[in-house]
């Protein structure tokens, strides 16, 4: 039997502007906990913009304006009492290109925990191992933790970034085209990790096959609108909207 | 999924998102803002001090009559220490302009030539060590250059040309050119290297020679940057003090030949400021010269800035 | 190819290229050659004057004998003082411009200020220092006044170089730190600054090299022709290499007799300045090559 999944992220009538550019138009969506939700669509469709709204990274974009509401675990994240820094600690993010700091692997992972005041070496050691194991990287790097993360391969760097985000034990992990700068083998490893992760993941991808392989549900964005959202299998096999069908059959984009 | 019952026109434009700043962050940002504003403040402060001290020359003080603006700008008599002193800046301005213009006649072509050589002709390896070498040459202290001008070039000019003295505007401009050439070359090289390779490739593909590509494609495309480079070199020569103090000869007259001695603004300041009583008319007259120098260099800088913009817009 | 234009003017075109390239090579060779000749001239004439005593003793007999120790010490102290003045202000301004500033009239004004400040002649800085530090603030002719004046002189260069270094650290560093719940200041302090600092410092040292060789700004703010002792406080006048050379060559009792001292001092100053600049340029090249982002 299939239980109705529990909603963890809820967006209600979200409009978003960069200056005069209307980037998101009245987007409403419910994202389920413990699932992988993929966001697809042609470049400039608003999928990455939407993703960055979920951990308030758009706050740093000059001229960004937002209407509508977004709730995480029932609390409004743009409400007057919301603390953006706290939200970013609860909602982790992995970026398009691997972006480790020019520090050791160990210090990269510890960055978040140290920010929240965890300083004891024995506590940090535990967290580092846990995060690296969760990112399926522990066995590869356990002997070289003091090496600069910059010296790792691209795939390893990206998993360091995953581990760094996981070290804060986030409720949700946002991934913005996390494999677009990786080779096929590294991509497979990251995808493998996503499928097995026991976490709510929202992933933006320009690669439809990837969305089909790894996600439970898929949302299709086009020109700033959320055109269609549903279980991945259904969306790819029986799209309800012609725009969706055109996109997944490769007629544009 | 779009909600059609909610037409876009009816929706508000939302609220502006801004990063929330904690008190420490606000403090940090305020501190950095103060640092940044201090740069602007410094510029203003320089102007205030320079122009106030200069202005006192032109007003009556202690019963003495102030110098008239007409006398200051139009008279060529600079006799600040005479019993009845006169403060005419014309000969000094002429001295500054003559050595500066002469020097740029040398440094302009040499610097641009060096820039073309670096950007389009030198191999990658020689370029890799030539660029830093030029940067290094730009930091040769001016007192060392002036010293060489005094002890090596001046006697040589005196003997070879049978002059009464080798300290003249020719000698000064030679060494100002040595100072300005690295500036022109390295700024010019930046400008030339900014021309996209694709444009050069297009020229080669149409059968142009290497030189034709440089002359007809690269140079016109980088004219704005090159003119900026030359003018900034000019500004550097105009403001240079010690070289001209040591080798220009120091006579407050309008130079009429290459072998005449001159007393540019900068060397007048350096030579006389140490000897004068703070607060005297002479002291204020020297600040007035400083103000003239400041305005002239500022004008060159702004000219370089706007010329750069003008050419960019035309391109 | 158009039949009529086959080989059009080929001879002439290559001759033109040959001539042009010859002229350019001459210009390049001449300018580099002259500068090299100047350095060689100083080295050849300066080396005979050098000795351990020359570097470590005070001048004697109206400067015609003894060494230049106090001038070396004075130049080093002035340089250190200038760095202490320019680093906090310059780095602070650079952090504001690179990390916080949003385009607007204030930022435009600040940038205009910095750019024009860089073009102000050093002798005008000397006048400013005389008027503000020596007279108005009452510091007198002193190490303090000279250091502050030199510090302000290099401030625009230090600021520009530091801003450049900050801008070269990838935006993704900041993004990653912010996404992990750092606030902006934490992201700058913990991630951006450690990555940019070597570049910021080499830029500052390069500026300092030039300042150490400057004469005009310290002539009326700091330098004495001769001191009996090393300075024991920042309110003392100091000797400095550039002004020492200038005084000996133009103003001293025995201009001809002190020639060896003049050459020796010029060589020491040249080595000091070029050494500092070379150090910074080499470190910078290493940093650029080894940069991992």
**Mean pLDDT score, A199-221:** 94
Contact call for C270 and B141, based on CB within 8 A? yes
What pLDDT is stored for residue B127 in this prediction? 87
> What is the β-pairing status of strands A225-231 and A217-222?
antiparallel
Query: Nearest C-alpha of chain A: how many angstroms from B305?
Result: 28
Of B247, B243, B249, the residue nearest B262 (C-alpha)? B249
- Supply the pTM of this predicted model: 0.84
- Tell me if B273 and C14 make a contact (CB, 8 A cut-off): no
- A137: closest CA of chain C, how far (Å): 19
Q: Which domains does chain A have, with CATH numbers?
A: 7-248 (3.40.50.300)
- Dihedral class, residue A208 (left if φ above 0, else alpha if ψ from -120 to 50, else beta): alpha
For residue B314, name the pLDDT band (cuts at 50, 70, 90).
low
Non-local (6+) Cβ contacts of A9 within 8 A are A29, A30, A31, A54, A70, A71, A72, A172, A200, A202
pLDDT classification of B106: cutoffs 50, 70, 90? very high
Contact C116 B294 (CB under 8 A): no
Instruction: Answer whether residue C292 shows pLDDT above 70.
Output: no
Partner chains of C (3+ C-beta pairs under 8 Å):
A, B
Nearest chain A Cα to B5, which residue?
A26
Most confident residue range from A59-68, B275-284, C69-78, C105-114: C69-78
ipTM: 0.89
Contact across the interface for A25 and B2, Cβ inside 8 Å: yes
CB C64 within 8 A of CB C262: no
Report percent pLDDT > 90 for chain A: 67
Distance CA C206, CA C215 (A): 17
Residue ranges of domains in chain B, CATH in brackets: 26-79 (no CATH), 90-314 (1.10.3720.10)
Determine the pLDDT at residue A235: 93
Percent of chain C at pLDDT above 90? 51
Mean pLDDT of the A31-37 span: 94
Q: So what's the pLDDT on residue B312?
A: 64
Percent of chain B, pLDDT > 70?
93
B19 CB contacts (<8 Å, ≥6 apart)?
A59, A60, A84, C184
Binary contact (A88, C179; C-beta < 8 A): yes
Lowest mean pLDDT among A57-61, A150-154, B58-62: B58-62
Residue B7 pLDDT > 60 = no
Alpha carbon distance B46, B245 (integer Å): 23
Q: What is the mean pLDDT of chain C?
A: 88
∠ CA B4-A5-A216 to the nearest 5 degrees?
Answer: 80
Tell me which residue in B1, B16, B18 faces A227 most closely, judged by beta carbons.
B1
Integer Cα distance of B40 and A78 in angstroms: 38
Residue C272: the pLDDT is: 94
For A162-176, B203-217, C180-194, C273-287, which range has the lowest pLDDT when averaged over its residues? B203-217
**C195 neighbourhood in chain A, CB within 8 Å:** 101-102
- Subunits in contact with chain B (3 or more CB pairs closer than 8 Å): A, C
Q: Is the pLDDT of residue C3 over 60?
A: no
Please report which confidence band the pLDDT of residue B264 belongs to, taking 50, 70 and 90 as the band edges: very high
pLDDT at B174 over 80: yes
Q: How confident is the model at residue A1 (pLDDT cuts 50, 70, 90)?
A: very low
Rounded CA-CA distance B221/C282 in Å is 32
Query: Which of A227-241, B70-84, B181-195 is predicted with the least confidence, judged by mean pLDDT?
Result: B70-84
pLDDT value at A4 more than 50: yes
Query: What does each C-alpha distance from B203 to A244, B122, C64 come to in angstroms?
Result: 46, 19, 64
Residue C180 contacts residue A88 (beta carbons within 8 Å): yes
pLDDT, position B5: 43
Cβ of A17 within 8 Å of Cβ of B3? The answer is no
Average pLDDT in the C247-258 region?
82
Best CA proximity match to A243, nearest among A50, A46, A40: A40
Quick one: how far is CA B114 from the chain centroid?
19
């Amino acid at each position: 039997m299939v239980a109705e999944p529990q909603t963890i992220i809820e967006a209600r009538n979200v409009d978003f502007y960069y200056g005069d550019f209307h980037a998101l138009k009245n987007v409403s969506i419910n994202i389920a906990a413990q699932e992988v939700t993929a966001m697809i669509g042609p470049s400039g469709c608003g999928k990455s913009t939407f993703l960055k709204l979920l951990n308030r990274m758009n706050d740093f974009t000059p001229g960004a304006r937002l209407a509508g509401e977004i709730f995480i675990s029932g609390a409004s994240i743009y409400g007057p009492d919301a603390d953006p820094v706290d939200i970013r600690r609860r909602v982790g993010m992995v970026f398009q290109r691997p972006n480790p700091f020019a520090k050791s692997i160990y210090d990269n992972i510890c960055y978040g925990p140290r920010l929240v005041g965890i300083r004891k070496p024995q506590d940090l050691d535990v967290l580092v191992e846990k995060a690296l194991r969760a990112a399926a990287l522990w066995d590869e790097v356990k002997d070289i933790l003091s090496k600069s993360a910059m010296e790792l391969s691209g795939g390893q760097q990206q998993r360091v970034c995953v581990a760094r985000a996981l070290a804060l034990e986030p409720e949700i992990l946002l991934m913005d085209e996390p494999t677009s700068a990786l080779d096929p083998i590294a991509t497979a490893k990251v995808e493998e990790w996503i499928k097995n992760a026991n976490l709510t993941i929202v992933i933006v991808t320009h690669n439809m096959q990837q969305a089909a392989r790894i996600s439970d549900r898929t949302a299709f964005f086009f020109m700033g609108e959320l055109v269609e959202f549903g279980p991945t299998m259904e969306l790819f096999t029986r799209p309800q909207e012609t725009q969706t069908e055109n996109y997944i059959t490769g007629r544009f984009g | 999924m779009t909600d059609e019952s909610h037409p876009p026109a009816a929706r508000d434009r939302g609220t502006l998102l801004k990063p929330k700043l904690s008190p420490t962050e606000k403090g940090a940002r305020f501190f950095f803002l103060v640092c940044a504003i201090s740069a602007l403040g410094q510029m203003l402060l320089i102007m205030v001090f320079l122009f106030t001290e200069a202005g006192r020359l032109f007003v009556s003080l202690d019963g003495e009559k102030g110098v008239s603006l007409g006398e200051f700008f139009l008279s060529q008599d600079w006799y600040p220490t005479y019993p009845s002193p006169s403060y005419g800046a014309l000969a000094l301005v002429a001295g500054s302009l003559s050595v500066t213009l002469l020097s740029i006649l040398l440094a302009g072509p040499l610097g641009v030539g060096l820039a073309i050589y670096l950007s389009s002709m030198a191999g990658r390896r020689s370029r890799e060590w030539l660029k830093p070498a030029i940067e290094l040459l730009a930091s040769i202290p001016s007192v060392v250059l002036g010293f060489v001008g005094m002890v090596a070039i001046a006697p040589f000019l005196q003997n070879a040309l049978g002059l009464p003295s080798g300290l003249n505007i020719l000698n000064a401009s030679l060494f100002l050119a040595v100072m300005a050439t690295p500036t022109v070359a390295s700024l010019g090289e930046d400008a030339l290297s900014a021309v996209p390779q694709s444009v050069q490739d297009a020229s080669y593909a149409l059968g142009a020679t290497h030189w034709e590509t440089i002359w007809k494609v690269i140079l016109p495309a980088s004219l704005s940057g090159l003119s900026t480079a030359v003018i900034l070199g000019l500004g550097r020569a105009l403001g240079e003090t010690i070289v001209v103090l040591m080798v220009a000869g120091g006579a407050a007259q309008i130079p009429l030949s290459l072998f005449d001695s001159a007393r540019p603004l900068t060397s007048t300041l350096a030579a006389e400021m140490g000897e004068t009583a703070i607060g005297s008319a002479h002291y204020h007259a020297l600040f007035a010269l400083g103000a003239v120098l400041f305005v002239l260099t500022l004008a060159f800088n702004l000219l370089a800035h706007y010329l750069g913009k003008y050419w960019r817009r035309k391109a | 190819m158009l039949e009529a234009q086959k080989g059009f003017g080929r001879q002439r075109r290559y001759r033109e290229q040959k001539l042009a390239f010859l002229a350019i090579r001459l210009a390049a060779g001449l300018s580099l050659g002259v500068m090299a000749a100047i350095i060689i001239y100083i080295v050849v004439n300066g080396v005979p004057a050098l000795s351990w005593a020359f570097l470590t003793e005070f001048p004697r007999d109206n400067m015609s004998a003894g060494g230049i120790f106090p001038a070396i010490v004075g130049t080093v102290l002035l340089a250190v003082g200038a760095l202490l003045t320019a680093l906090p202000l310059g780095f602070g301004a650079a952090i504001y411009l690179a990390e916080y500033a949003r385009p607007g009239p204030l930022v435009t004004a600040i940038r205009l200020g910095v750019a024009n400040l860089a073009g102000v002649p050093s002798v005008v800085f000397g006048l400013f220092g005389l008027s503000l530090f020596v007279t108005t603030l009452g510091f007198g002719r002193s190490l303090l006044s000279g250091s502050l004046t030199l510090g302000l002189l290099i401030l625009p260069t230090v600021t520009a170089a530091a801003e450049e270094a900050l801008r070269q650290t990838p935006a993704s560093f900041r993004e990653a730190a912010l996404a992990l719940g750092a606030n902006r200041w934490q992201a700058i302090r913990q991630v951006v600054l450690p990555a940019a600092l070597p570049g910021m410092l080499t830029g500052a040292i390069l500026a300092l090299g030039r300042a150490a060789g400057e004469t005009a700004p310290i002539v009326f703010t700091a330098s004495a022709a001769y001191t009996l002792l090393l300075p024991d406080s920042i309110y003392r006048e100091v000797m400095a290499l550039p002004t020492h050379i200038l005084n000996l060559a133009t103003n001293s009792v025995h201009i001809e007799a002190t020639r060896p001292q003049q050459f020796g001092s010029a060589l020491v100053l040249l080595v000091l300045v070029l050494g500092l600049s070379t150090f910074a340029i080499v470190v910078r090249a290493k940093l650029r090559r080894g940069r991992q982002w």
